[in-house]
Amino acid sequence: MSEIAVLGTGLIYRNPKPHVHAIHAYFPSVVQLTNGELLCSLVLGEAFESANCHTYLVRSADQGQTWCLEGPIYPSTTARLTSDAVRLTALPDGGTVAFMVRADRTDHPEEGLANPENMGFVPTETLLLWSTDAGRTWGPPEPLAPPLVGPSFELCCPIVPLRDGRWFLPTSNWRGWDGDCPNGMKMVTFISQDGGRSWPEYRDVMRDPQERVIYWESKICLLPDGRLLAVAWVYDQVTATDLPNHYAISADGGDSWSAPRSTGLQGQTPTPYILDDGRVLLVYRRIDRPGLWANLSHLEGDRWVNDDEAPIWGAGAQRLTGDSDNMVQNFQVLRFGAPCVIRLDDGAIFVAFWCYEDCVSVIRWYKLSIG
């Protein structure tokens, strides 16, 4: 019998009038606030990479059973054509911080986010937004000055506050639209010593010295023994194939990391959640089988050991991901992904992700129990 059980499912957001308006929802980020409410950011737009994709907030007062759309997190830009998305972090003092990547679409209004010729990205800005009232009102986006040249950066993980007071911001730098990437495409973490007001340092987390392998959708979690665990989706540029998800471990607070090693899981957009007993629950878009899956594992020293797995959504569906040797084209035909995972007050694991259902992209949630 599986140790992973599904307790229920529902919707965070679905376009209420898809026959009238083209509105799709993508990229949820959910946090539980100190007042017990759940706050979720999501992106609404007419298509997966449309230039009118912007961040909205929804809220639940009943542990995720019902949700209320509250509106955009900020008014967006007027002088430029931009799209944006955020990842949320709830702070112990009741505040909330949102890490935003805002993409400038002005020079490429009829293109997606990435150049199909070289996988370069449109220009991006890294920004922070702050709320002191449980996410009901927000200050304007404030520039986050990266500690290295990207030139663009991936939005893949919320800010991670550590026990020693530092903040980590995992990301991957990305080629510019012209293909230039002076520091190579690698997983890094920005580091702040002053609660996010400045980010003068960074550390390499996963990097291929040959620059053949790219580490995407990276996450960092704190293990009960004080070590840090990093997990990433791995893509081989030469063979144009996905490799198994990789992980790395730091025993010195993130100053250095073990060499990346395979988890044995064939997937994309992996999101780990560390259980109280130290086991790792990983939710990911599986590529060797259809659908969104949950995997339960544990670490024996630095060795990743898989224990159990269970499908969550889409296990019987077809054509959920692309199989082209052009990854930009594969991005364009995705049908689900970007899971986020939190634990609720009642102990249930809450998973939110975007997926297409009846030709409309929605934000769906599942509640899981772990044996």
Q: Which residues contact 196 (CB under 8 A, 6 or more apart)?
A: 97, 128, 144, 159, 167
Q: How many CA atoms are closer than 13 Å to the CA of 131, on its beta-carbon side?
A: 19
Residue 151: alpha-carbon gap to chain centroid = 19
Answer yes or no: are the C-beta atoms of 281 and 349 closer than 8 Å. yes
Give the per-residue pLDDT at 90: 97
Nearest to 122 by CA among 328, 343, 348: 328
Answer whether the bond into residue 109 is a cis peptide, omega within 30°: no
Q: Which residues contact 131 (CB under 8 A, 6 or more apart)?
A: 95, 96, 97, 98, 137, 138, 139
Give the per-residue pLDDT at 287: 92
Which CATH number is correct for 4-370, 3.40.30.10, 3.40.50.460, 2.60.40.2470, 2.120.10.10?
Answer: 2.120.10.10
Q: How far apart are CA 339 and CA 209, in angstroms?
A: 29
Q: What is the pTM of this model?
A: 0.94
Burial 166-185 (b: 16+ CB within 10 A, else e): bbbbbbbbbbbbeeebeeeb
Give the per-residue pLDDT at 319: 57
- If one counts every other C-beta atom within 10 angstroms of the C-beta of residue 123, the result is 18
What residue segments make up the domains of the chain, in order of their start? 4-370
Q: How far apart are CA 232 and CA 172, in angstroms?
A: 10
- If one counts every other C-beta atom within 10 angstroms of the C-beta of residue 192, the result is 21
Residue listed under structure tokens 């990301």: 171
Q: How far apart are CA 171 and CA 186, in angstroms?
A: 9
Answer yes or no: are the C-beta atoms of 204 and 232 closer than 8 Å. no
Q: How are beta strands 152-153 and 160-161 bridged, if at all? A: unpaired
Mean pLDDT in consecutive groups of 10 residues from the start of the chain, 371 residues: 91 96 97 96 97 98 97 95 98 95 96 94 97 97 98 97 97 96 96 98 97 96 97 95 97 98 97 97 95 97 97 78 51 74 96 95 97 90
Give the per-residue pLDDT at 14: 98
